[in-house]
Structure 1
Amino acid sequence: MTAAALPPSPPLSSPSLSKVSPSPWHTGDRSFLDADVDALLAQLTRTEKITMLAGADWWHTVPVPRLNIPGVKMSDGPNGARGASFAEQTAGIALPCETALAATFNTDLVHAAGSLLAREAKDRGAVALLAPTINIQRSPLGGRSFESFTEDPILSGILATAYINGLQENGVSAVLKHYVANDIEHERTAVSSEVSERALREVYLRPFQIAVADSNPLAIMSSYNRVNGEHVSESKELLDGVLRKQWGWDGLVMSDWFGTYSVDTAIKAGQDLEVGILRKWHPAPADITPQMPGTAKWRTPYLVEHLLAARKISERDIDACVRNVLVWAQRTARMSPETVYGDDIEVTNDRPEDRVFLRELGAKSNVLLKNENKALPLTNVKRVAVIGPRALDKTCFGGGSAQLNCSYVVTVLEGIKQVAPEGVSVEYSLGTSSHKMLPYLDGIVRDDGVAGADMRLYTTLAPGAPVVHHYRREASHVLLNDGVPDSLQGKNWFAVMSGTWTAPITGAYEFSLAVCGRAKLYVDGQLVVDNWDVLQTPGETFFGHGTSEEFGRLDVVAGKEYSIRAEFSNIPGVMKDAPDVGQICNFGLRIGGFPVVDKDAAIEAAVALAKDVDAVVVAVGLSPDWESESYDRASLVLPQRTNELVARVAAANPRTVVAVQSGSAVSMPWVDDVAAVVQAWYGGNASGLALADVLFGNVNPSARLPITFPVREEDIAAHGNFRSANGKVLYSEDLAVGYKWFLERKLTPLFPFGHGLSYSTFGYSGVEVSRTDETTVEYSVAVTNTGDVAGSHSVQVYLSSPVSNLAHPVRHLAGIATTGILAPGTSERVVVKVTRRELAHWDDLLHSWSIENGKWKVFVSDDALSAEQLVHKFDVRGRHEWSGL
């Protein structure tokens, strides 16, 4: 795809700067770049070393100006570099979510995505990105499934390697996460993943092992959870034994934020860096000694010195951790000295070539799941209806730490209007709402005329009180978990979020407030929502520390401007059954708003429109309220009356196309009734344009499902053993995760792993086999475009183990290869190499990798379940055992 071939995108914005100040994290002297780390370590005082065991703040390591040691700046996250602040986010690029990246089945595209993220990280002044996430999607109901690539460990490792190489070849350290078996959000800091030794090695550790072997990530983040009873951050077996001794990896281990639970145990286990600091948000009770803002939670000088005196740890233990911090800092500084030694200025660069790439990447991640009677592409149409709750939604990512301030977003409706050929009329109807919480208040603008809200901090709400700090927010919400100005630290403070809002309708409008603290909402001076004086209800907001929404309604007039004023305080509210929930580090305010919808009338209007047009695109799916860090989904069902809407519209128009935007699988009870289904994921900034390119045939879809879509929850391997029960979750399915479960139980999924249609057809021929040794076989396959539309195709190679006394999956993925764009009738050879890594299983008696002797079968297939073409059989003989990479 070239820029010239694309319909117009949204206007480019000019580069912008924020936090324009000299960096406090370094000196001008660059001698550290060539310094001997061990010599530096010998010069550090004990106090300096102790301070280096934890972060200086939320995003920097501790600098030591005396020795010219700079601090390293990090940034979230997997789908975009947010920068150093939740409250004052620099606008940037949002890539398609990781599941969408995986759907491309294209390592070159994923490598390019990593390269783009490296530029974005450096635009935020960071040289380390907290990414990629390679936890296994054990269940699509996991709250952070959208952050991970796939249910398959081999594919996850292959894609992680491409992503990490893209980052690190462009000067940014990857921070591979979350190590390991961090697959649910329920009780995530307490839950123990009870998993067999073999499944731990073959399923959950394997993607980390592949990434370490093939890309050498410079840092790895330990997970919140326990594995078999022991927190990973305290596991000497997993951190020192597996990572360092068996795999020979020499990078930095950092905690997840507040994912440290001890001093001596974690240090001795090999957790080098504690991240997440303890700040003083309220006046301390008289019986508690106040902590200085910006100090570690666990690795304070007092505690570490106390444990040194008690010989619970030694200075050698501290030196080992500090040395890894120094080595990592030096490696990142050498990769990107201009960023490390530059001013800490966060820049928004809106590059035309990045917009072209994001659109291409999004389109190539869209999976065509069904296409009856060539309903797609949308040709020979004059009127197209766009119906559904996702059509106008500007959300392009899941919730939690993956969220960021997008420099631009193209909605589904905007994208379809832009891409539709001249003369095609595009009309819209809501059909049904699908939000879990009221969406952010759309149509609100700040004092400077930019969309969003102003938030001003005060020591009191008395008239005439001076403003302590002014946040300019991009939307009607704020999360203050990275701190407030020093003058407010440890004090009760107040804030006002305000803006001018233009009503989009005439009629009843519903408003809401969710808080971590307490708040009241006024519209034109009228109190509409009170979440201050009420008995607050615990909710899922603000990483599980906030309240549920409180609601209020007001009749409004379309086009009229209204003043919005939310008064907010960090003083904890009185919350049901959670008296201490306010005493934490997250403080936030969220204003929601949405028209009061007559649900029956909305569906009837959508059906009436569907009857009068040539084709319908129903835009449905989920949002960050449904898929997010800190909680899991309850079911596969689409929200509210979405399924009813799709069924009614499909009955009214036979050319009904359903576009699903979600980070993982949803159920589709209407799948047999619609003409076509596109899984569009969370597609990033250009999501609407990318989807429209597929719908109208500008791009021939080539993506594949990196996860299995089940028909119902009961078909998921983890069903019945998914939530934490008394602090444990039993991985009872063992090796049979995802498609392996469906093969083992002979279940029929909604759509299998690896499934994906095209507007063309492809055939395989001329398989060539080259065996270099007993455990290495290379397959070259000719792929021919047998259809009449140019397109790309991904080849999947699966293995079946010899019959053995040991249980093995029926089949497992060995590798993938993707062609370029093939014109009709043309062919391209692709190569997949099978090595001992793909053949190995973990022997839990010998505690080593081993390969079964006997006859192996090799399949080339279009998905995991069909295994349609047996291409080769080969024998393995002899003893093959090893414990490392």
Structure 2
Amino acid sequence: MIDDILDRMTLEEQVSLLSGADFWTTAPIERLGVPKIKVTDGPNGARGAGSLVAGVNAACFPVAIALGATWNPALVERMGVALAGQAKSKGASVLLAPTVNIHRSGLNGRNFECYSEDPVLTAALAVAYIQGVQGQGIAATIKHFAGNESEIERQTMSSDIGERALREIYLPPFEQAVKKAGVMAVMSSYNRLNGTYTSEHPWLLTKVLREEWGFDGIVMSDWFGSHSTAASVNAGLDLEMPGPTRDRGEKLVAAVRSGDVKPEIVREAARRILALIERVGAFEKAPDLSEHALDLPDDRALIRQLGAEGAVLLKNDGILPLAKAGLGHVAVIGPNAAEARVMGGGSAQIAAHYRISPLEGIRQALSNANSIHHAVGCRNNRLVNVFSGEIRVEYFSGRDLAGPAVVAEAASKGEFFWFDLPSLELDPNDFSARISASYSPAESGEHVFGMTNAGLARLYVDGELVVNGYDGWTRGDNYFGTANVEQRQSVHLEAGQRYQVVVEYCSSATSEEGINLTAVRFGVEKPLGEDAMLDAVERAENADVVLLFVGRDGEWDTEGLDLPDMRLPGRQEELIERVAAVNANVIVVLQTGGPVEMPWLDKVRAVLQMWYPGQELGHAVADVLFGDVEPGGRLPQTFPKRLSDNSAMTGDPHVYPGKDGHVRYDEGVFVGYRHHDAHGIEPLFPFGFGLGYTHFSWGEAKASSTKMEADGMTITVDVTNIGDKSGSELVQLYVRPLASTIERPEKELRAFAKLRLEPGETGTASLVVRPRDLSYFDDATKTFRAAAGRYELLAAANAADIRSVVTIELANDWTGELSDRSI
């Protein structure tokens, strides 16, 4: 069928398939019965075609680092199945996920959106996720291919990575997604790789991906992430997104006519687009692109289970789990207590069905006579609190708010991210909007108004210009680098008085530079001062136990910018210190997208890392704190004691954050725990670490053979739950070469198994290793090689806790070809 369609297509029609029709759909060819299909973000939910901050509600699942902390591929596969159903509810045939870039540093803004610092763990979870999604007829899109480990200047930065590091650390998740999961789509990254944009990188897209790995799906650009006509098509980029086209269409037809692009290259790219449409069943039944909310009890339960499974108990002196019976005064304190921080920022955002805050979850769990007191203490928001209330938005043609409004609508939140405008009469590149609301403060005093805008905007209070986001506008760090740095201004307001707040917005002129978006966000807040801190300390002093919720939110952990440091923002460290000084029973619950420094660690009794676990946050955290379920997570990323202990933080700006358009991955393969091992740096918490509510005894590791066989060997470890509660234990298997002529990590994760055991129950972890697991990538021969000799297989509870060792022998040198499909 596909050949017949291709034969009947004109060149122009073939070319039309190679760019999106609009922001979210591919181009149809109606005369040949080729339908359009819709794609949707993202990794922790299916948003549909709505705005990043609005649109039809969807189930909000845990972010990827929380999934990484589960070390549970079977559970992640179940999430993939659920996400496929969510994608269908949004009329989508393609899910733009998973994200498998590596945790190179602790500062990457999208650290939360990626699974791990280790390629084996990342690959195992990605394969499971893809199999879950694609088993339901929805295509998965693995991203970002490749070298996108930082958000700084990501649209132009060249990630300069040696081939060995690429082959051993950064490419294996993509490789296994192709070879094991048959992923249907790959998304190229924004950045350059060793000087060449990945969207026009022949070695990456054709030699490695298609010729070596045998990939037969489509390669699409990240949004606005392609930069050329002939170069991108010739390199193997099939689909330019979003539409309408910028570099294809008539430009590509002309490139074919001039001989810059061979017609057979266009035909093969069009074939792959048609094959994708066929694989998702769109030829059999044209997709219904309409959207609806799908709120299922099974999804709710799975999200809650995943939240607890990924929760990592970092410290516990016995205070946890808390007994509900007899629990007296409970202080629930901190900026993340009453706010439901359920997801990170950027393109992973969705409009969640609901958000259960920790305070709400704890109140439901302690619905008896327990006394619960709440205090904020301090703020941790990066941007001024977004405006909330009744809002009217009037839209005008042109940039000067002239003439009658084309359309008007109501809103309830002062944030607008316009993928699609409310009327077809409006031109996204030439419109304006008047956003009107009123604000009545609860307290008198200085209030801060803030605004950030992609486009130009001014904010007025009672007719007076307060925030100027128009004159002198320059790109900053918001909305993926398309908006200015938030502009702020203090105004004295009187309690109970009603103030008129008006934002006048206009789209900016179209630019050829990078991403062009239209968005505005405005807010107002009364800054918290010493009184708020004293209130939190007073409530803590009079409590039997303090649950202190601190961390970050999606304004910090977000696409488009990296973190400034690895400390808790605002006065949160001070809050912990002052609360701990008046109460000996403090439990800190962290919500971050990666590691943080903990100078206060010795002053609290327990620390629980919850990440951003989705819409069931409050229920999941209460389940863990009160022992209804165990904290099942183990760290997918090393938590260093200080930022300078990280492998990328050498002090050389060429290594991080980059300089003169290049960032050098000088650490090579020594990322995460590999770096800590090589330099003898003790981490705060090692890779794979996590506590539970029970205890286990381990038997000695046993190997099926003392010699590595061609098809691999099996290592087994018996584990017994010797405690009085059910729980899970993670068995990790590392490989250590005993002799090597090249520099290699001391040990490398090669397999893992998670066992859930009842009290007194014994289970067996069965772990398979193969010859490639003993190997390294040889730059000289361009092959994976393992030298004959002895290797140790280390059975470990985490990277710093080796329980037993098995020594095996590889009788002969082993060489693995890059096209080997048996990995």
Shorter-normalised TM-score: what interval? over 0.9
Pair 1:495 & 2:461 matched: no
Pair 1:753 & 2:650 matched: no
Letter in 2 for 1:590: R
Pair 1:570 & 2:535 matched: no
Deviation at 1:429, TM superposition (A): 1.0
User: Does the CA contact (< 8 Å) of 2:187 and 2:219 recur in 1?
Assistant: yes
Deviation at 1:483, TM superposition (A): 5.4
What SS is found at the alignment partner of 2:531? helix
Distance 1:297 1:631, change over 3 A: same
User: What TM-score, normalized to structure 1?
Assistant: 0.88
Name the CA distance, whole Å, in 2 between partners of 1:774 and 1:519: 66
Letter in 1 for 2:350: L
What SS is found at the alignment partner of 1:544? coil
The equivalences for 1:480-629 within 5 A come to: 480-482=418-420, 485-489=423-427, 492-499=430-437, 503-505=441-443, 507-522=445-460, 525-527=462-464, 529-532=466-469, 534-536=471-473, 538-554=475-491, 564-571=501-508, 585-598=516-529, 600-629=530-559
> Structure 1: where are the runs of 5+ without partners?
1-35, 278-293, 447-452, 573-578
For 1:359, which of 304, 311, 321 is the aligned residue? 304
Could you tell me which residue of structure 1 aligns to residue 262 of structure 2?
314
Deviation at 1:135, TM superposition (A): 0.6
Distance 1:92 1:47, change over 3 A: same
Name the CA distance, whole Å, in 2 between partners of 1:775 and 1:621: 46
Distance 1:158 1:504, change over 3 A: farther
Pair 1:345 & 2:290 matched: yes
What SS is found at the alignment partner of 1:239? helix
Name the CA distance, whole Å, in 2 between partners of 1:216 and 1:227: 24
Deviation at 1:517, TM superposition (A): 2.3
User: Does the CA contact (< 8 Å) of 1:516 and 1:582 recur in 2?
Assistant: no
- CA shift digits 1:450-473 (9 cap, x unpaired): xxx443312379999644244554
User: Does the CA contact (< 8 Å) of 1:775 and 1:876 recur in 2?
Assistant: no
Q: How many residues align?
A: 812
Letter in 2 for 1:201: R
What SS is found at the alignment partner of 1:809? coil
Could you tell me which residue of structure 1 aligns to residue 74 of structure 2?
108
Letter in 2 for 1:369: L
Could you tell me which residue of structure 2 aligns to residue 862 of structure 1?
797
Could you tell me which residue of structure 2 aligns to residue 793 of structure 1?
729
What SS is found at the alignment partner of 1:861? strand
Deviation at 1:108, TM superposition (A): 1.2
Deviation at 1:714, TM superposition (A): 0.9
For 1:246, which of 212, 215, 219 is the aligned residue? 212
> Structure 2: where are the runs of 5+ without partners?
none
What SS is found at the alignment partner of 1:488? coil
Deviation at 1:853, TM superposition (A): 1.5
- CA shift digits 1:194-234 (9 cap, x unpaired): 11111110001111112212111000011111111122211
For 1:92, which of 29, 34, 58 is the aligned residue? 58
Deviation at 1:309, TM superposition (A): 2.9
The equivalences for 1:148-547 within 5 A come to: 148-277=114-243, 294=244, 296-301=245-250, 303-333=251-281, 340-342=286-288, 344-377=289-322, 380-420=326-366, 422-442=368-388, 444=389, 446=390, 453-459=391-397, 466-471=404-409, 473=411, 475-482=413-420, 485-489=423-427, 492-499=430-437, 503-505=441-443, 507-522=445-460, 525-527=462-464, 529-532=466-469, 534-536=471-473, 538-547=475-484
Name the CA distance, whole Å, in 2 between partners of 1:166 and 1:583: 34
Pair 1:702 & 2:643 matched: no
Pair 1:806 & 2:771 matched: no
Name the CA distance, whole Å, in 2 between partners of 1:403 and 1:674: 33
- Segment drifting more, 491-500 vs 135-144: 491-500
User: Does the CA contact (< 8 Å) of 2:399 and 2:430 recur in 1?
Assistant: no
What SS is found at the alignment partner of 2:719? strand
User: Does the CA contact (< 8 Å) of 1:135 and 1:178 recur in 2?
Assistant: yes
Distance 1:767 1:870, change over 3 A: closer
Name the CA distance, whole Å, in 2 between partners of 1:856 and 1:583: 49
For 1:744, which of 678, 683, 698 is the aligned residue? 678
Could you tell me which residue of structure 2 aligns to residue 679 of structure 1?
609
- CA shift digits 1:595-615 (9 cap, x unpaired): 2221x2222221121111011
Deviation at 1:775, TM superposition (A): 5.3
Name the CA distance, whole Å, in 2 between partners of 1:603 and 1:257: 43
User: Does the CA contact (< 8 Å) of 1:529 and 1:550 recur in 2?
Assistant: no
Letter in 2 for 1:595: K
Distance 1:360 1:527, change over 3 A: farther
Could you tell me which residue of structure 1 aligns to residue 597 of structure 2?
667
What SS is found at the alignment partner of 2:268? helix
Distance 1:71 1:792, change over 3 A: same
What SS is found at the alignment partner of 1:374? coil
Deviation at 1:672, TM superposition (A): 1.3
User: Does the CA contact (< 8 Å) of 1:180 and 1:205 recur in 2?
Assistant: yes
What SS is found at the alignment partner of 1:137? coil
Could you tell me which residue of structure 2 aligns to residue 5 of structure 1?
none
Name the CA distance, whole Å, in 1 between partners of 2:139 and 2:748: 31
User: Does the CA contact (< 8 Å) of 1:774 and 1:877 recur in 2?
Assistant: no
Deviation at 1:78, TM superposition (A): 0.8
Name the CA distance, whole Å, in 2 between partners of 1:542 and 1:309: 39
Name the CA distance, whole Å, in 1 between partners of 2:218 and 2:401: 51
Could you tell me which residue of structure 2 aligns to residue 25 of structure 1?
none
Q: Percent identity over the alignment? A: 35
Distance 1:559 1:633, change over 3 A: same
Name the CA distance, whole Å, in 1 between partners of 2:526 and 2:311: 31
What SS is found at the alignment partner of 1:868? strand
User: Does the CA contact (< 8 Å) of 1:528 and 1:553 recur in 2?
Assistant: no
Tell me how large the CA RMSD over aligned residues is: 2.4
Could you tell me which residue of structure 2 aligns to residue 47 of structure 1?
12
For 1:848, which of 775, 783, 806 is the aligned residue? 783
Distance 1:606 1:310, change over 3 A: same
Deviation at 1:423, TM superposition (A): 2.1
- CA shift digits 1:90-136 (9 cap, x unpaired): 11111111000110111111111111111111111001000000011
Deviation at 1:874, TM superposition (A): 4.0
Deviation at 1:324, TM superposition (A): 0.9
Could you tell me which residue of structure 2 aligns to residue 762 of structure 1?
696
User: Does the CA contact (< 8 Å) of 1:774 and 1:876 recur in 2?
Assistant: no
- Segment drifting more, 804-813 vs 720-729: 720-729
What SS is found at the alignment partner of 1:620? strand
- CA shift digits 1:414-464 (9 cap, x unpaired): 11211225222111111111111112124x1x4xxxxxx443312379999
User: Does the CA contact (< 8 Å) of 2:702 and 2:715 recur in 1?
Assistant: yes
- CA shift digits 1:524-576 (9 cap, x unpaired): x454633255433543122111122233445556677765433322256xxxx
User: Does the CA contact (< 8 Å) of 1:52 and 1:62 recur in 2?
Assistant: yes
Letter in 2 for 1:663: G
What SS is found at the alignment partner of 1:164? helix
User: Does the CA contact (< 8 Å) of 2:37 and 2:287 recur in 1?
Assistant: no
Name the CA distance, whole Å, in 1 between partners of 2:719 and 2:749: 19
What SS is found at the alignment partner of 2:179? helix
Deviation at 1:162, TM superposition (A): 0.5
What SS is found at the alignment partner of 2:698? strand
User: What TM-score, normalized to structure 2?
Assistant: 0.94
